[in-house]
Amino acid sequence: MFSNMIIGRYMPGDSWIHRLDARTKLVLSIAFIFVVFFANNVIGYALAAAFTLLAIMMTGLGIGVFLRGLRPLVLLMFITTLLQLFFVQTGDILVHWAFITITTDGVINSIVVFVRFMLIIMFSTILTLTTQPLAVADGMESLLKPFKKVGLPVSELALMLSIALRFVPTLMDEAQSIMNAQRARGVRFNEGSLMARIKSFVPLLIPLFVNAIKRAIELGDAMEARGYRGGDHRTKYRILTWHTQDTVAMIGFVIFTIALIATRWMM
């Protein structure tokens, strides 16, 4: 389960996407989350899916890596889809049984939410798979630098982001190890009722939180022992540089956005 989690993992490569500036990928990832909501018909979502698939192919990692990474999120996507299916009551009634009512608008909204959810996750995952965590933190710090004038602790936020991205895969691997140990002791995570399955995760969460807190304390002590001081006085080993390919990526995304907006009037 957790071994398939790819969010937060960096996979080395030399693809065109790998070589893009971290700031470019950050801006495009955030912009895509908003732009995808411009789609309101089949043509729009097909265009968004094609653009996402093209970006995935350009990473050189293959679509299978991204699909495997979606498996741990299937339950969350399923619950979100069901909420739309059962709680949207407008449109023609398709099924009505006791307190359950499924309408045409509910079905359409659930499909739309599922597609949006999947596209956003897959496109955002490109950022972490093709960008080193320190580069992501440096890119975020560079983009937020103007907010220093209003007192925003940009350096501290970048540090927290880099630490979070660095330790997400570590915590996932640790959770998988604890789960395997619990399975060896007879715990069955995929058996019984829903409540029984939820209770079976308690022996997993407690040691995971304890280890996470212990790791955070050790990291803080190590940083203090090495005399870490944040802020503007720190130098950068890797300097972010804007290249022609970053400009091309931005122009390509603008063209995609214009085309996606244009699809709103095609049907």
Burial of 221 (0-12, 13-18, 19+ CB in 10 A): exposed
The pLDDT value recorded for residue 69 is: 67
pLDDT greater than 80 at residue 123: yes
Assess whether pLDDT exceeds 60 at residue 3: no
Is 38:157 a contact under the CB 8 Å cutoff? no
Query: Can you tell me the mean pLDDT for 156-180?
Result: 77
Segment 42-66 mean pLDDT = 87
Q: What is the pLDDT of residue 245?
A: 92
Say if residue 4's pLDDT is above 60: no
What residue segments make up the domains of the chain, in order of their start? Answer: 1-131+241-267, 153-234
Q: Which two tokens stand for residue 13?
A: 């490569």
For residue 2, pLDDT beyond 60: no
The dihedral sign for the CA sequence 100, 101, 107, 108: negative
Residue 103 banded pLDDT, cuts 50, 70, 90: confident
Q: HEC string of the chain? A: CHHHCCCCCCCCCCCCCCCCCHHHHHHHHHHHHHHHHHCCCHHHHHHHHHHHHHHHHHHCCCHHHHHHHHHHHHHHHHHHHHHHHHHCCCCCEEEEECCEEEEHHHHHHHHHHHHHHHHHHHHHHHHHHHCCHHHHHHHHHHHHHHHHHHCCCHHHHHHHHHHHHHHHHHHHHHHHHHHHHHHHCCCCCCCCCHHHHHHHCHHHHHHHHHHHHHHHHHHHHHHHHCCCCCCCCCCCCCCCCCCHHHHHHHHHHHHHHHHHHHHHHCC
Q: Mean pLDDT check: name the lowest of 7-11, 33-37, 76-80.
A: 7-11
Q: What is the mean pLDDT of the chain?
A: 80
Instruction: Summarize the confidence of residues 34-38 as an average pLDDT.
Output: 90
The 10s digit of each residue's pLDDT in 245-267 is 999 999 999 999 999 999 888 76
* Average pLDDT of the segment spanning 141-166: 79
Looking at residue 39, its pLDDT comes to 86
Over residues 140-160, the mean pLDDT reads 80
What single-letter amino acid sits at 148? K
